[in-house]
Amino acid sequence: MFFLVLLVLMLACASLAFSAHQKLSRLQRESQDVFFQLALLLVRRYEQIPHLIDALRADLVEEQAAVDVLLKAKTTAAAFAGAMRQQVGGIDTVSELAIAEQKVVEALKQLTSLLGDRLAHNAPAAKIAEEITVVEGKIVSTREAYNNLVREYNFLRETFWGRLVTSRDSFKRAQFFIHID
């Protein structure tokens, strides 16, 4: 009788550990997939920025410094987003991409505030700005989905069963994609 109870307990523990491992694997895969989608959306927006600048070229003569800041931020962020196409999910890469992305957002805000009404009166530029706005909305929702998956994944890693199966290096702590307004 004792051996039967012991066997049932061992099977229950093994089942819980296996379940935790499966859920961690699923969350890790899903967060990597969503982060890849986020990187693609970022690249899509970065590709629109030069088109916006070209459409506004005549209006940007006085704001050349803002254009330079925007293009530098875009180049930096696009390099990180491009790197994400080859390797998804490293802690340093995620935090560096978030920092680069913040620079792009700040530069876009600076450019938009400098241009003011001129943007609305330039039809091609207004169309591109609208496309960028639509992509930004998708970026926000995808970033939230990624951060929710990371939160769930990291929480599971810290549970008893999570710690039991994460003793190996295959389940490293995931990094949030933080955006500061």
- The domain 31-139 is placed in CATH, from the list 1.20.120, 1.10.150, 2.60.120, 1.10.1760, at 1.20.120
134: three-class secondary structure by DSSP: helix
Contact assessment for residue 35 and residue 84, using Cβ atoms and an 8 Å cutoff: yes
* Other CB atoms within 10 A of residue 83 CB: 15
pLDDT at position 40: 84
What CA–CA distance (Å, rounded) separates 76 from 87?
17
pLDDT for the residue numbered 99: 78
Dihedrals φ, ψ of 175, to 5°?
-100, 135
CA 71 to chain centroid, in Å, comes to 20
pLDDT tens string, the chain, 181 residues long: the values are 888 888 888 888 888 888 888 888 898 889 888 988 888 888 888 888 877 777 777 666 666 776 776 677 677 666 666 665 555 545 457 777 777 778 778 777 777 777 777 777 788 888 888 898 899 899 989 999 999 999 998 888 888 877 777 766 678 888 888 765 5
Residue 66's closest CA among 56, 79, 80? 56
The pTM of this model reads: 0.76
